[in-house]
Structure 1
Amino acid sequence: NNIISVLVLMGFVGLYASTGGLRSVVSTDVVQFAIMMLAMAVYAGILLKQTGGPDGMVAGLIEQYGRERTGQMLSLRPHDGVLAFWMIIGMQWLFQVNSDGTGYLAQRTMACAGDRDARRAAEIFTILQILLRSLMWIPIALGLLLLHPPDSSMTSGTPSAAWIAERETLFAVGMNLYLPVGVRGLMVAAMLAALASTVDTHLNWGAGYITNDLYKPLRRFRQPGLSSDSADVWVARLSGLGILSIALALVTIVPSIQTAWTLTLLFGAGMGAVLLLRWLWERINVYSEFAAILISIIAAPVLLWYVDLEWQRMFYMAALSTGAVILSVLIPVGGSSHEALLSFYHRVRPAGFWQKSARQLRMDPEEPWRLFKSGLLRIVLVATALFSVLYAILTLLFPVPD
């Protein structure tokens, strides 16, 4: 029973996440990630063997889909996917809830001993997450496309919900068909580990927000000078339990992975701009974030009901939320206190548009802009290097003959 399985797993994860805190979450995540990577490597190796190795896989794809289509599958710039590529780079990356790198990654890096350790941790995570994991996913995806090609009658037009559900389960179907018993168990454990890692991360992260950003300010307002670490711990534990209960309720409502992905993208499209700009522009304040959240809550149901195309929904949501953020900046409704803003700049020295704060602190007003340009250049160089290495290895493993 799926519901019972999810209840048991989430209950167990909630138990160690609430009792052990961030240390237990990070420690278990390392083990869970190692299990997942090992299982993915075995799965990819078995599918490669099943399809005759890299050369046999490419030959099979050419026979199944044709040389031109196979070339587009393995190309860095597929001819019919240029618009989609730029949509992902220009909109789906920027106008989504993870646009600033996510709060849970910030939480992990800020828990490091110092800046140097945090930078090393981020570098290792990026290589493992983007490069190594993708190298395992690619042969799995190609192998399943070869062994289980989509029905040609369903590839044109709007696919049905049943067809989408069938393709969504193909990864699990391949596990059942091609993995031997022991490896199949390892793969199931890896899937559970991936789910557990996601759940415990969000429980700990969400509980931290509720405790530090809601409960503590309210307590200081009502009872100034009162501090209780034990009360903070219990609030965090109860917050995690509340988040877990909401998640379990949503599991029974959301019909498919694609539906959940669509809802997440749509709500995130309204939050992405402000989440990124708050680090780069001193005029962004809490009212800007509230405006983006309010617009997302109001506009999402309307867009889901009246707009059919997903990219149009995201575009309208991004436009509405960006407009709300701009209005919150232009209209004098309050914001961060002057002292808090200067203290933040002095401690953090953020990049971007912080010239006014720098001048008031009698610091170099051009430093934030220089940091922004150098940081942006490093991002472009690292991203280009990572994807170039990934594509180079992909080309060596799966060359399409001329």
Structure 2
Amino acid sequence: MNLQTIDWVIIAVFFVIVIGIGYVASRTAGKSTQEFFLGGRHMPWWLLGISMVACTFSADTPNLVTGMVRENGVAKNWAWWAFLITGMVTVFIYAKLWRRSEVMTDLEYYELRYHGKAAAFLRGFRSLFLGLFFNLLIMATVTLAIIKYGQILFGIEAWQCVVFGSIGVVIYATLGGLKGVIWADFFQYSIAMFGAIYAAYISIQQPEVQAIGGLSGLVGAESPIASKLAILPDPGDLSLLVSMLIIPVAVQWWAVWYPGAEPGGGGYIAQRMLSAKDEKNAIGATLLFNFMHYAIRPWPWIIVALASLIVFPELDDIRQAFPGIDEEYLAHDVAYPAMISKLGPGVLGIVIASIIAAYMSTIGTHLNWGSSYLVNDFYSRFVKKDASQKHLVAVGRVSTVVLMVGAGFFALQLKSATQAFDLLLLSGAGTGSIYLLRWFWWRVNAITEIVAMISAIVVGIVLVFVVDPASLALSLGGTPDAPTLSLDGNTVRLLLAVLINTVVWVTTTFLTKPEPQETLFSFYRKTRPGGPGWAKLRQLAEGEGVDIEGESKGQRWELPYEIACVFIGTIMVYACLFSIGNFVYGNLLTGVALGLLAVGSCYGLFRVFAKSRSL
């Protein structure tokens, strides 16, 4: 496909602006690691919230959603919609705790919460494991999406996609640090969201879709793809209901550690919270992120996915339309870039710029986040403890470039993001509960986390690369009194990983010694988590005449009110998400009712939240 001059001009202007943002931010980014990795800890909530949602607005996410809808229908999105609960828990319970900790990265937390060589090992190992292995794998899957866009839209080689996609982002991420990344995210998110909405509009205008009645025909009862439209799994199909809805909502949100949706917050979400001006801005940022991420973004992608089922019903239709695409990259997820190719001059340039923006915002975040681990939690902690701030910033810039080169190399080896996604998901299964409880239960220790991490990695590798998922499929019931419940192999192996790893870490906790009393006193004094999980520690401190409660002494525990905020906030966002969905489907009365529920929930949320803060 050939772009017109206007398209190239738009793309060029986009690159000039984002590189310019990096240059302006570089004036302060080089002063210290706190400036380079945390923006000086004075970032406002609205900018951080948009940055969070921008870095999850990845180039591969529309492809992933398109693949889900084409293969399993709209209801398959519960695989990630369920993580809203995780996000709301982070907003109302953990955001303030992270900001109080005042650590540089979430890995520095380990030597605040735990003690000695075990804590140091945990911090150092995870800095390399997450900063290199996990980070490179995530960036490689995102870069794989850019390769697929390049194959569909331009017919260029994979290595060219990697090189062209990397140049701009590595420049502004290296120059401007987190501040450059965050301001670039703000600009890029605006472009990316506009591009997604316009792509949805153009998808509905395609002749094949107009031939069945446009949007109303696409989502109506007589639609050729009616079986794909349900937002909730069919209640009459117990197997689908359990695998698509019940397990994600009941288990996945708390049990699985996954980048961007970590139970208790972590990774680049924690980095944004740590860079906030104060606790209030940290909470506001994460609330805005979750609202935009789950309520606002999904439907443009879903509309494009549904329209693609009319324009390209089968993979063979995409193959015939784009004969230049390599067979190894041909899958349902390429239907999204295939639909993008339908855009006209000018608008096509804007939408392609939006895709590049989505890619760059995600990669920029991962470059800065991964570099912060390598510099703060490995290099300055174990290699050169007396390094100057200027030297550490220089190392951070070098590691940013190295990470980008590594991600590009792995992307060229990766043929399918599915196996990488499964490995990432399963290697964190069962550990999520640790990240929730370690703030509120004094008994969790460094050995708990080390053993859980090793167990999760081993179990994940075995379940992905050794065990055939088909061999794990289960079928239960099948009698008049017990309907058949069939669980596919992927669902069973997730449950197995959660069960095995949870048993391992809980057993380890009770078989090993707790952290030293002085370490626990210091952690409690700084973060003030409160609650019955620390009752024994408070009794010990009181018996020894040590004040660990500080300004929180005599105050009621906020957690019950915060849990109420989590519940109400979750209803608010889901109501908004499904209100928009019902308007798209033409169900105006239901859409209005859900919209009113969202508004009422918003009012109740802020009333309860204000009450919790006044305790």
TM-score (norm 2): 0.57
Distance in 1, matches of 2:568 and 2:285, equals 18
Matches of 1:262 and 1:28 in 2, distance apart? 30
SS class of match (1:279): coil
Match of 1:171 in 2: 336
CA contact (8 A) 2:304 2:339 kept: no
CA distance in 2, matches of 1:163, 1:373: 51
After TM superposition, the structure 1 stretch with the greater mean CA deviation from structure 2, 240-249 or 313-322, is: 240-249
CA distance, structure 1, for counterparts of residue 463 and residue 554 of structure 2:
42
* Match for residue 273 of structure 1 among 421, 426, 433: 433
The answer to whether the 8 Å contact 1:14/1:244 transfers is: yes
| 1:346 corresponds to which of 520, 525, 543 | 525
Percent identity (aligned): 26
1:82 to 241, 245, 254: 241
Give the deviation of 1:45 after TM superposition: 1.4
Aligned with 1:250: secondary structure? helix
How far off its partner does 1:123 sit?
A: 2.6
SS in 2 for 1:280: coil
- Aligned CA distance change for structure 1 residues 279 and 188 (closer, same or farther; 3 Å): farther
| Equivalent position of 1:288 in the other structure | 448
Task: Kindly report the root-mean-square deviation, in angstroms, between the aligned alpha carbons of the 2 structures.
Answer: 3.0
1:269 aligns to what SS in structure 2? coil
Match of 1:384 in 2: 571
Aligned length: 381
CA spacing shift, 1:9–1:147, aligned 2, 3 Å: closer
Matched, 1:135 2:299: yes
Q: Secondary structure at the match of 1:291?
A: helix
Q: Calculate the TM-score normalised by the size of structure 1.
A: 0.84
2:203 maps to 1:47: yes
- Paired with 2:534 and 2:310, the residues of 1 have a C-alpha distance of 53
Secondary structure (helix, strand or coil) at the match of 2:297 reads helix
Structure 2 gap segments, 5+ residues each? 1-156, 317-326, 470-488, 542-546, 589-615
Letter of the 1:349 counterpart? R
Structure 2 distance, partners of 1:247, 1:6, is 9
Q: Distance in 2 between matches of 1:149 and 1:137?
A: 17
Cα distance change of structure 1 residues 138 and 107 upon mapping to structure 2, 3 Å threshold: same
Aligned equivalents of 1:74 and 1:190: distance in 2?
A: 29
Aligned residue for 1:65?
225
Match of 1:396 in 2: 583
Q: CA deviation at 1:351?
A: 5.6
Residue 14 of structure 1 aligns with which residue? 170
CA displacement at 1:26 relative to structure 2: 0.6
Q: Secondary structure at the match of 2:564?
A: helix
CA contact (8 A) 1:99 1:276 kept: no
- Unmatched segments (≥5 aa) in structure 1: 153-161
1:325 maps to what in 2? 505
Residue in structure 1 matching 2:404, options 234, 239, 244: 244
SS where residue 339 of structure 2 aligns?
helix
Q: 1:374 to 1:111 in 2, by over 3 A?
A: same
Q: Is 1:186 matched up with 2:373?
A: no
**Matched letter for residue 379 of structure 1:** V
Other-structure match for 2:361: 197
Quick one: structure 1 residues 48 and 272, their matched pair in 2 at CA, closer, same or farther if it must change by over 3 Å?
A: same
Q: Per the alignment, in what secondary structure is the counterpart of residue 313 of structure 2?
A: coil
CA contact (8 A) 2:428 2:457 kept: no
Shift of 1:366: 9.8
Q: CA deviation at 1:76?
A: 3.6
In the other structure, the counterpart of 1:259 is 419
Aligned-partner Cα distance in 2 for 1:372–1:351: 8
Deviation at 1:99, TM superposition (A): 2.8
The answer (yes or no) to whether the contact 1:270–1:318 under 8 Å persists in 2 is yes
Change in 2 beyond 3 A, CA 1:242/1:319: farther
1:106-142 CA distances to partner (integer Å, 9 max, x unpaired)? 2112212122222222232222222111232232222
